[in-house]
Amino acid sequence: MLDNKNIQQYIKNELAKIISKHELYIYQARQTRMDTRHQRYFNSTPLRNAFARVAVYATAVNEHYSIQTIASKLYSTRQSISKIVDECDAEGWLNVKRSPNSVEVQASKVMYDFFLEYVKARQILLNKTDRDRWNELILLQNLVQSEVALDDWTTINLNDIDNHSHPDIVKLLEKG
């Protein structure tokens, strides 16, 4: 029988399959995308990989983040992040603002452009079919988890929707 619980379990399983496949592709790509110095560096450890995302995000929002802020975000130490900052700064991958009590960073244009190449590669990894399927499943999940129970759909008169006499359906349609 197709009930709310079974539909929710189906959605969870389908989302798990998409994410598992996608993350496997990412892992494989990180093992094989080692053509350039920056790819080898940022793919070498999870911390360096995450650091790259923080630095790129800082550039995207036009901010600089302190070493302490980055260390907190990445659950790392200031010493580890300082070492990464020094290494990346030496390569020209960061814009660094230094003051007597603080060092703040964001990705340089070079690093940001490298990341845009990565974005293109990621788009290929998660193909349009999987992206569309993901979005459809999320929409279905939102519908199933809404206040409208599936049993209510079998008792709705379509004219009720036009007359706005079924408030739950009207709310759902207005959200949609």
Tens of pLDDT, residues 129-150: 888 888 898 898 888 887 554 5
Token digits for 21?
């496949």
Q: Which of 82, 93, 96 is nearest to 52 (CA)?
A: 93
Token digits for 127?
């193909």
Residue with tokens 């020094």: 86
Confidence grade of residue 97 (pLDDT, cut at 50, 70, 90):
very high
Amino acid type, 163:
N
pLDDT at 126: 79
Q: Any residues with CB less than 8 A from the CB of 64 and at least 6 apart, and which?
A: 58, 95, 97, 104, 105, 106
Question: Does the structure show a pLDDT above 70 at 35?
Answer: yes
Rounded Cα distance, 119 and 61, in Å: 17
Confidence grade of residue 36 (pLDDT, cut at 50, 70, 90):
confident
pLDDT at 129: 85
Confidence grade of residue 172 (pLDDT, cut at 50, 70, 90):
very low
**Distances in whole angstroms, Cα of residue 83 to Cα of each of 47, 79, 89, 103:** 11, 6, 10, 12
Q: Which domains does the chain have, with CATH numbers?
A: 4-145 (1.10.10.10)
Structure confidence by residue, pLDDT tens digits, 146-169: 755 455 544 444 444 444 444 544
pLDDT at 158: 46
Confidence grade of residue 123 (pLDDT, cut at 50, 70, 90):
confident
pLDDT at 176: 42
| Most confident segment among 12-21, 96-105, 162-171 | 96-105
Structure confidence by residue, pLDDT tens digits, 47-95: 999 999 999 999 999 999 999 999 999 999 999 999 999 999 999 999 9
Question: Does the structure show a pLDDT above 50 at 173?
Answer: no
Question: Does the structure show a pLDDT above 90 at 43?
Answer: no
Give a three-class secondary structure readout of the chain: CCCHHHHHHHHHHHHHHHHHHHHHHHHHHHHHCCCCHHHHHHCCCHHHHHHHHHHHHHHHCCCCEEHHHHHHHCCCCHHHHHHHHHHHHHHCCEEEEEECCEEEEEECHHHHHHHHHHHHHHHHHCCHHHHHHHHHHHHHHHHHHCCCCHHHHCCCCHHHHHCCCCHHHHHHHHHC
